[in-house]
């Protein structure tokens, strides 16, 4: 089974653990039509990344509707993720959803470089294994004009690299993903 390296920012992963999809869970007070929509979009559940960027469960949906400014800076990242997901659904259904994936690196050195760029030198790195992986250039995940984001999203799902940049290949692993060891 192919092996990869995952940066465990939350510090919760242990050897032997199996990472699977989590049921869609929304904050109390979320309007029922949003609950139904989320479950229709992701009937198999979400990864931790999906929970964070699709549900944004740290902000109740009712508050986000009433006061969009309450959402803060992350709205750009969330909209970028949504645009990439909609492109995938329209043209690349054979690719794994970012909202349903565990992210990893091919080498320990790449995982350490990502950890350093993220500013969390305390995050542990775990070796993981998964049967299904898709390689994409993380550099394509950037906010720009709608036209550029649309183009980049097609490049990303096609497995191409960003123009004028060395690729930063990330791997989207479809659960189940097994934690093999802690590498630090």
DSSP structure class, residue 100 = G
Strand partners, 5: 105, 127
Q: List, for residues 36-46, the tens digit of each pLDDT value.
A: 999 999 999 99
**Contact status, residue 65 vs residue 103, Cβ threshold 8 Å:** no
Residue 177 φ then ψ, to 5°: -125, 125
pLDDT at res. 120: 81
Measure the CA–CA gap between 108 and 128, rounded to whole angstroms. Answer: 11
Run means of pLDDT, 10 residues per run, the chain, 184 residues: 93 95 83 90 93 72 51 67 96 98 97 89 94 96 90 97 91 97 90
pTM of the model: 0.87
Q: What is the pLDDT of residues 62-101, one digit of tens each?
A: 445 555 555 454 457 888 999 999 999 999 999 999 999 9
- Hey, CA dihedral for 140, 143, 144, 146, is it positive or negative? positive
Check if the beta carbon of residue 125 is closer than 8 Å to that of residue 115: yes
Residue 104, phi-psi category: left (phi > 0), alpha (psi -120 to 50), beta (remainder): beta
Pairing of the two strands 177-182 and 133-137: unpaired
Could you give the 3-state DSSP secondary structure of residue 164?
coil
> What is the rounded CA–CA span in Å between residue 137 and residue 41?
25
CB 135 within 8 Å of CB 170:
yes
Is 72 strand, coil or helix? Answer: helix
What residue segments make up the domains of the chain, in order of their start?
Answer: 3-182
Q: Is 119 exposed, middle or buried (0-12, 13-18, 19+ CB in 10 A)?
A: exposed
In sequence order, which ranges of 55-145 are alpha helices (DSSP H)? 61-66, 75-91, 108-117
Strand residue runs (E) in 17-82: 18-19
**Residue 59, pLDDT score:** 52
């Amino acid at each position: 089974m192919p092996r990869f390296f995952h940066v465990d920012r939350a510090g919760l992963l242990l050897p032997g653990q199996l990472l699977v999809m989590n049921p869609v869970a929304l904050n109390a007070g979320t309007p029922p039509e949003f609950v139904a929509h989320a479950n229709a979009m992701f009937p198999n559940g979400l990864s931790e990344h999906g929970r964070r960027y699709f549900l944004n469960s740290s902000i109740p949906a009712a508050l986000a509707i009433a006061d969009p400014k309450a959402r803060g800076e992350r709205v750009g990242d969330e909209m970028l993720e949504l645009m990439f997901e909609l492109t995938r659904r329209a043209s690349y259904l054979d690719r794994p959803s970012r909202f349903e994936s565990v992210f990893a690196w091919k080498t320990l050195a790449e995982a350490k470089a990502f950890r350093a760029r993220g500013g969390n030198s305390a995050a542990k790195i775990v070796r993981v294994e998964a049967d299904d992986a898709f390689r994409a250039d993380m550099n394509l995940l950037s906010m720009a004009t709608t036209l550029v984001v649309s183009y980049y999203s097609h490049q990303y799902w096609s497995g191409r690299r960003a123009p004028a940049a060395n690729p930063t290949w990330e791997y989207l692993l479809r659960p189940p993903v097994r934690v093999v060891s802690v590498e630090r």
